[in-house]
Structure 1
Amino acid sequence: MKTALNTLKKTYSFTSIIEDFKQLTKVGLAISVVFSSLAGYLLAVGLDGFSFKVLALLALGGYFMVGASNAFNQIIERDLDALMDRTKDRPIPSGRMSTTTAFIIASVLTLAGIVILYTINPKTAMFGAISIFLYTCVYTPLKTKTPLAVFVGALPGAIPFMLGWVAATGNFGIEPGTLFMIQFFWQFPHFWAIGWFLFDDYKKGGFFMLPTGKRNKATALQIIMYTVWLILISVFPATGLTGELKLSIVAAILVFITGLGLLYYAIRLYKKMDNKSAKALMLASVGYITMIQILFVIDKFLQ
């Protein structure tokens, strides 16, 4: 009986450690970022140039880099996280993990991530390092200072989609630049929707997430504007002006229709001005970016 209890305690302890690591690195967000990177890679390579090794390295290195950014973010914001309902149970503010332990994990993930991405090519590692720096040293401190933090945060947030292309080619040009812009504009309706329905909780931590600082018509109108720009840049590859990044007319129509769906939810938020509509917009934005990345990749291999 005693042995069984000891085994149960060890299992529970191991499970708790894994769960804290997942929360520290924000596993859900990290996986979505890795998905974007892999989509960018598949867009750049043909069937002849495909490499499972590079794909695996990109996935692992990408997860480490995103995980490191999230860990550093939680170290910096530990006192503020303790004030908000959605973050007070994170490993550091809850007391389950020390700041030192979190810093060691974040540092190891950073070094490992850069080394792994460097084995793919130097530019991939460079952009990965830039994303960590911008997210940790610029975006995070600005969150309590100005709504412009979202614009700054959109820069590292837009890197994953283009990172896959750079990993495949070793070059940065119009193609990864277009992928960057797609994910850049996508973040505004996505994060402003989150900032809307979590407005009261963010206020407890002193975070400024909405462009006007308020849940008003002006904020909702900006969400609509950025959604329109997102749709336009998403179908732009169909013009043939984006180098090797191409989109067929059929795929462009499907992407456009998907965009209209997202625009519907943005307009609904403008009309209703409630948290339910903001949550619906957030979910629609996740569906949008996932769907168009899949459409881009499928279209690539059907051409």
Structure 2
Amino acid sequence: MKSAVGSVKNTSLSLLFSDFKEITKAKLAVSVVFSSIAGYFLGAYQISVVSLLLLTFGGYCMVGASNAFNQVIEKDLDALMNRTKNRPIPSGRMSVRTALTVAIVLTVLGVVSLFALSPKTAMFGAISIFLYTSVYTPLKTKTPLSVFVGAFPGAIPFMLGWVAATDDFGIEPGTLFMIQFFWQFPHFWALGWMLDEDYKRAGFKMLPTGKKDKGTAMQIILYTIWMIVISVIPVFGITGRLILSIPAAIIVLLAGLVMLFFALKLYEKRENVTARRLMLASVTYISLIQVIYVVDKFIS
């Protein structure tokens, strides 16, 4: 009997943990924290384990809070889409009150943790939550410009790490911001292309032309080119302490050209499978260049 009760408790805890990961979008949150840590390594003169722990914890809390608020706001729309109808709130596994409590607690913990690093870090973290939940989320059903607005909070993490390490905002974190800002467009439009039918069920307007056409594909190409240009600019020595060696810049350029290749293929074929390849290439690209930037700093 005790064994059966213990098994039920373990199952319940497992489900609660699973729902927590889903309400905070754990995989996305971890990738965002990875960006922040990369920015921290780039900006830091000396590595502080305590600062890294605060950044990791605070960063996850802030992203998790944004996602939880988002799922509270979009609970009825999530129920209409195949990819989101089994989320904790629309499936009935978590109440709106519980999800809202999780979001508020994570916001407080995140702001406090980032404030312990520096007030500027906490400020940018708070701005990202506000823009994501109060501007980007409501705009998704109104206009395709929501992706432009959403690119601002989406681009903050890479920059946030530098600010956390230096308590300063200048050309270096500004450049990191711009890299991730322009990356947002090919990434999310490729995702929007793949999920267009599902998004339309909820009334989301994610593609710039509203259609899976050459116009959307051309904009993906243009933003990919801008992303490549910004990513290699540090090799010219005009971005302060953010410097990229020639070998590292060549690798970054080649990685960008691979992504551009898939963008051109999407323009040519306009198929979901091609959009998926571009989306996967974009995820690989942003993680790869962050690693390259950090490794290049420490070996150059």
Instruction: Summarize the alignment of residues 1-303 of structure 1 with structure 2, pairs less than 5 Å apart.
Output: 2-46=1-45, 49-303=46-300
How far the C-alpha of 1:5 sits from its partner, in A, is: 1.2
SS at match of 1:172: coil
Hey, what's the Cα distance between the residues in 2 that align with 1:3 and 1:164?
48
Superposition CA RMSD, Å: 0.5
Amino acid of the structure 1 residue aligned with 2:209 = T
Q: Deviations over 1:81-126 (max 9, x none)?
A: 0000000000000000000000000000000000000000000000
How far the C-alpha of 1:168 sits from its partner, in A, is: 0.4
Q: Deviations over 1:103-150 (max 9, x none)?
A: 000000000000000000000000000000000000000000000000
Amino acid of the structure 1 residue aligned with 2:120 = K
Hey, what's the Cα distance between the residues in 2 that align with 1:290 and 1:64?
21
Hey, what's the Cα distance between the residues in 1 that align with 2:80 and 2:298?
48
How many pairs align?
A: 300
How far the C-alpha of 1:10 sits from its partner, in A, is: 0.5
Hey, what's the Cα distance between the residues in 2 that align with 1:88 and 1:114?
30
Hey, what's the Cα distance between the residues in 2 that align with 1:99 and 1:227?
38
How far the C-alpha of 1:249 sits from its partner, in A, is: 0.7
Hey, what's the Cα distance between the residues in 1 that align with 2:210 and 2:11?
43
Amino acid of the structure 2 residue aligned with 1:17 = L
Amino acid of the structure 2 residue aligned with 1:214 = K
Q: Deviations over 1:215-258 (max 9, x none)?
A: 00000000000000000000000111100100011110010000
**Identity among equivalent pairs (%):** 65
Hey, what's the Cα distance between the residues in 2 that align with 1:83 and 1:55?
39
SS at match of 1:158: helix
Hey, what's the Cα distance between the residues in 2 that align with 1:135 and 1:89?
22
Amino acid of the structure 1 residue aligned with 2:39 = G
How far the C-alpha of 1:21 sits from its partner, in A, is: 0.2
How far the C-alpha of 1:4 sits from its partner, in A, is: 1.4
Hey, what's the Cα distance between the residues in 1 that align with 2:88 and 2:258?
37
Amino acid of the structure 1 residue aligned with 2:208 = P
How far the C-alpha of 1:65 sits from its partner, in A, is: 0.1
Hey, what's the Cα distance between the residues in 1 that align with 2:299 and 2:44?
13
SS at match of 1:87: coil
How far the C-alpha of 1:3 sits from its partner, in A, is: 1.5
Q: TM-score, normalised by structure 1?
A: 0.99
How far the C-alpha of 1:154 sits from its partner, in A, is: 0.2
Hey, what's the Cα distance between the residues in 1 that align with 2:22 and 2:202?
19
Hey, what's the Cα distance between the residues in 2 that align with 1:200 and 1:232?
33
Moved beyond 4 Å, runs of 4+:
none
